[in-house]
Amino acid sequence: MRATAYQRKLDVKNGRIDLSHGAGGRAMAQLISGLFHEAFGNEWLARGNDQAAFDVGAGRMVMTTDGYVVSPLFFPGGNIGSLAVHGTINDVAMGGARPLYLSASFIIEEGFRFSDLKTIADSMGEAARAAGVYIITGDTKVVERGKADGLFISTTGVGVLADGLDLSAEKARVGDRVLVSGSLGDHGTAIMSRRQNLAFETEIVSDSAALHDLVALMVAAGGSSIRVMRDPTRGGLAAMLNEIAHQSGLGFRLQEEAIPVKPAVAAACELLGLDPLHVANEGKLVAIVAPDMADAVLAAMKAHPLGCDAADIGEAVADNHQFVQMSTGFGGGRIVDWLAGEQLPRIC
Amino acid sequence: MKYADEFRDKTIARGLARAIGAEAESQSEYRFMEFCGGHTHAISRYGLEDMLPANVRMIHGPGCPVCVLPASRIDMAIRLAERPEVTLCVYGDLMRVPGSQGKSLLTAKAFGADIRMVYSTLDAIRIAEQAPNREVVFFAIGFETTTPPTAVMIRLAEKKWLKSFSVFCNHVLTPSAMHSILESPDIRNIGRVEVDGFLGPAHVSAIIGTEPYEVLAQQFGKPIVIAGFEPLDMMQAILMLVRQVNEGRHEVENQYSRAVTRKGNRRAQEEVSDIFELRDQFEWRGLGLVPHSGLKLKQAYAQFDAEMRFAMHEVRVADNPACECGAILRGVKRPVDCELFGTVCTPEIPTGSCMVSSEGACAAHWTYGRFRDYQLRRA
């Protein structure tokens, strides 16, 4: 059925989501066709089925899913929509795969503004088109006021992995180098500063970005010498390296001075009592690379705009305790541990 | 980062480390207690212990307001938050602190209590203004640093005629606790470590000045150097302490002169003394009842005192008998000397006060320094 057959036009400027937009009736169909189809526009969605049949190239399939419950929904450098696209593309790409298709599921709170929903959907469409990825199926639910924090989005991504590539944490070996694609803590600090209504002299912008092109360059340069790739999202670099340490049975030794952190981010973290190593990133990756190919992979990273600040920050070491240790700028040592619970500002 | 990088210069830090190494006499032991949790955290975070000679040892003191809050006060806060008419506003790092039954404000929130994490006293005022039909209570905690903002908040609430706003006051005083570490009845049971000097609090001293420590330095014959929280501040203060010990002096010196004066911030002190008065005693987790170490609201502000308003009663509860926090807070034992450390007591499931807050001695050692335990065993 064509969108023009529906009775009332969506009032995108002033309208609000009501329960009828999730009830499965005409209003819901109108929302999907008038807002989501328009924003995501592609041949699979246009067919209007409950599922999408699609072609895949040669190789192994990769699949991932993620939920996005960020608050605030809009932040410097993006919004929940672009984040939901970038985040899932990155999870596919961290396997070394080429992302192809996404699904998107929306849980919307009654009373949510159409104008905000349109902004979010448009930025999803834009992010997907820029990445050469299609949002080909989805779902919409509306819940009563107070039962969701405005909007939750879940996205699932599929991609294709070239034969011969098999990245996994247990493949890390003693002596492997730890490469990071750029400065840490930008996304989490941007979110926190917005939550606290802190106005810094330099606005801190989220690093939200799709990393699959950068990954493709790295894979071309390093191939199977790249043992593991992971994006340090929630929990930051610290949680991610501790995860890999436990999965591989190794430890890591980092050099604090080599770890890139923007001065504005470092200053904001000082103010908020946070550690940039625990703060979330949405456009950065960490690669564990065999030592003989580390320089070549690092050079490939630096050749891409999203990896221009890439750095070699340390190495994998034999350690039965699987500690992630760091030499501080003063020549002392410390552990870089998991965060206990949520990172919360300190009293004093 | 202006005003921070200047105090993190590794070349200067190494120079100070060399000076400490040269001046610390090899046949002597230097045991300095940093009272402040902020110092403990910074020492661990920057790995400063590795830069000190073996005979200069830092002892982690009790200076973390979250750590020293007894379980009974958390129990009181949970009971208060569970009242249907109450909205409790708390600083985030109190949320995970366990009460006597292992329940925390975080779990109480999950079970439906209206608990809001706030980042300043003004947030609590805003919540009270937006919800005039709720009883909004601010869980006030902290040393002399955070007391003036609470005083200002109470004055603001009075000015705004906030009839259903009150404060659950848990503010405590630093000099009383330092006194208790050096001299209290508990010492007979758990012993006393020989402290050769104190690294004095930074932010606290910006409010109260250096003068209140003078009597302690004289009475106990211990040098005290007020130090900032940056690594170079602490290294310089340690050097100043080493020199005092070598010269047989026991004075109050001020390394943190860019923020601290002898008399402190008079206006903040006046605000506090207008609104608060001393409690006869206050319980500190790990230290027990410490005389004249806590504050309560004066009678004139009783309408803002949650303990009066809700007839809150404190029921003292015993800490886990296996927990060594009392001895660790006084520097008699180290975190690894406690059999609970790293087994049933970790930052995820803290048992004792020293593990409760990230600034506690055990939490700092677990989070940043526990690799040294294995190095020691290997050696």
pLDDT digits (tens, 9 = 90+) for B309-351: 999 998 888 878 888 888 888 778 889 999 999 998 988 888 8
pLDDT score, position B66: 86
- In the predicted model, is pLDDT for residue A123 greater than 80? yes
How far does the CA of residue B189 sit from the closest CA of chain A (Å)? 32
pLDDT in tens, A293-319: 999 999 999 999 999 999 999 999 999
Spatial CA neighbour of A346 closest among B173, B66, B349: B66
Residue B9: what are its φ and ψ, rounded to 5°? -75, 120
Planar angle of CA A288, A294, A299, nearest 5 degrees: 115
In a domain, B62, yes or no: yes
- Which residues, 6 or more positions from B60, have their beta carbon under 8 angstroms from its beta carbon? B33, B34, B40, B328, B331, B354, B361, B364, B365
Check whether A1 has a pLDDT greater than 50. Answer: no
Residue B64 pLDDT: 83
> Which domains are seen in chain A, by residue range?
16-161 (3.30.1330.10), 169-335 (3.90.650.10)
C-beta separation of B164 from B105 below 8 A: no
State the Cα–Cα distance between residues B50 and B57, nearest whole angstrom. Answer: 10
Place of tokens 């009460």: B99
Binned at pLDDT 50, 70 and 90, residue A343 comes out as low
SS percent in chain A: helix, strand, coil, step 5: 35, 25, 40
> How many other C-beta atoms lie within 10 A of the C-beta of residue B311?
7
What is the pLDDT, as a whole number, of residue B360? 86
| Angstrom distance (rounded) from CA B239 to CA B335 | 25
Mutation for B interface: A342, A344, A347, most B CBs within 10 A: A347
Helix (H, G, I), strand (E, B) or coil at A12: coil
Nearest to A331 among B14, B369, B374 (CB): B14
Residue B4 lies in a domain: no
Q: What is the pLDDT of residue A2?
A: 43
Report ipTM (2 d.p.).
0.76
Closest residue in A to B142 (Cα–Cα): A347
Output the six-digit token pair for A30: 């109108």
DSSP string, B259-322: T--SS--HHHHHHHHHHEEE-SEEEETTTEEEET-BEEE-GGGGGGBHHHHTT------PPPTT
- Determine the 3-state secondary structure of B153 from DSSP: helix
Radius of gyration in angstroms for the set of CA atoms belonging to chain A, rounded to a whole number: 21
pLDDT at res. B185? 66
Asked if A201 reaches chain B (Cβ–Cβ under 8 Å), the answer is no
Residue B374, domain member (yes or no):
no
Enumerate the β-bridge partners of residue B139.
B168
Instruction: Report the pLDDT averaged over residues A282-289.
Output: 97
Rounded to an integer, what is the distance from CA B164 to the centroid of its chain?
A: 30
Report how far residue B81's alpha carbon sits from residue B138's, in angstroms, rounded to the nearest whole number: 11
User: Counting Cβ atoms within 10 Å, is residue B162 exposed (0-12), middle (13-18) or buried (19+)?
Assistant: buried
- For chain A, give the mean pLDDT: 91
Band the pLDDT of A341: cuts 50, 70, 90: low
Q: Identify the three-state secondary structure at position A341.
A: coil
Q: What's the pLDDT score for residue B331?
A: 78
B340 located within any domain? no
**Alpha-carbon span A277 to A334, nearest angstrom:** 13
Indicate the range of A152-161, A320-329, A332-341 predicted with least confidence: A332-341
Give the pLDDT confidence of A69-112 residue by residue, as tens digits: 988 899 999 999 999 999 999 999 999 999 999 999 999 999 99
Q: Closest approach of chain B CAs to the CA of A340, in angstroms? A: 5
- Give residue A197's identity as a one-letter amino acid code: N
Q: Find all residues with CB under 8 Å of B6, minimum gap 6, and list them.
A: B232
Predicted pLDDT of residue B68? 86
A296 near B CB under 8 A:
no
Q: Is the pLDDT assigned to residue A348 strictly greater than 50?
A: no
* Cα torsion A300, A306, A309, A310: sign: negative
Question: How close does chain B come to A187, measured CA to CA in Å?
Answer: 19
User: At CA A339, angle to CA A336 and CA A343, rounded to 5?
Assistant: 125
The verdict on A344 touching B (C-beta cutoff 8 Å) is yes
Interface membership of A335 toward B (CB under 8 Å): yes
Residue among B10, B38, B117 whose CB faces A331 most closely:
B10
What pLDDT, on a 0 to 100 scale, did the predictor assign at position A78?
95
Whether A348 and B143 lie within 8 Å, measured CB to CB:
yes
Beta bridge partners of A325: A253, A335
Phi, psi of A192 (to 5 degrees): -65, -40
CA A131 to chain centre: 13
- Give the number of domains in chain B: 1
Cα A153 from Cα A120, distance rounded (Å):
10
| Peptide bond before residue A72 is cis, with ω within 30 degrees of 0 | yes
Does the residue B366 lie in any domain?
no
pLDDT at A197: 66
**CATH number of domain containing B154:** 3.40.50.11740
- Residue B65's pLDDT is 87
- A65 within 8 A of A154, measured Cβ to Cβ: yes
d(CA A206, CA B69): 37
Both structure tokens of B361: 């001695």
The pLDDT score that the predictor gives to residue A269 is 87
> Tell me, what DSSP letter sits at residue A3?
G
Q: Which residues of chain B have pLDDT under 50?
A: 378-379
CB contact under 8 A, B47 and A345: no
Chain A residues in contact with B357 (beta carbon < 8 A): 346
Flag if A323 and B371 touch (Cβ within 8 Å). yes
Torsion of CA B210, B215, B217, B218, to 10 degrees: 140
Q: Say how far apart CA B231 and CA B316 lie, in whole Å.
A: 39
Please tell me if residue A266 touches chain B, with a CB cutoff of 8 Å: yes
Rounded alpha-carbon distances, angstroms, from residue B176 to A15, B144, B213, B278: 61, 12, 10, 11
What type of residue is A305?
A: P
pLDDT tens, position by position, A169-228? 999 999 999 999 999 999 999 888 877 666 666 788 999 999 999 999 999 999 999 999
Section A129-150 average pLDDT: 95
pLDDT score recorded for residue B379: 46
Residue B19, in any domain of the structure: no
Q: Are B202 and B229 in contact (CB under 8 A)?
A: yes
Q: Which residue has the higher pLDDT, A116 or A3?
A: A116
Q: Using an 8 Å CB-CB cutoff, list chain A residues near B372.
A: 333
pLDDT (mean) for A336-343: 76
CA distance B374 to B379: 9
* DSSP state, residue A337: P
Q: Please name the residue that has the structure tokens 């456009």.
A: A283
The answer, for A146 touching chain B at a CB cutoff of 8 Å, is no
A341–B348 CB contact, under 8 Å = yes
Amino acid at A224: S
pLDDT reported for residue B62: 81
In a domain, B370, yes or no: no
Per-residue confidence band for A26, with pLDDT thresholds at 50, 70 and 90:
confident
The domain in which residue B187 lies consists of: 29-332
Report pLDDT digits (tens) over A37-57. 999 999 999 888 889 999 888
| Closest Cβ–Cβ partner in B51, B117, B141 for A330 | B51
Buried b (16+ CB within 10 A) or exposed e, B364-378: bbbbbbbbbbeeeee
- Asked if B231 and A331 come within 8 Å (Cβ–Cβ), the reply is no
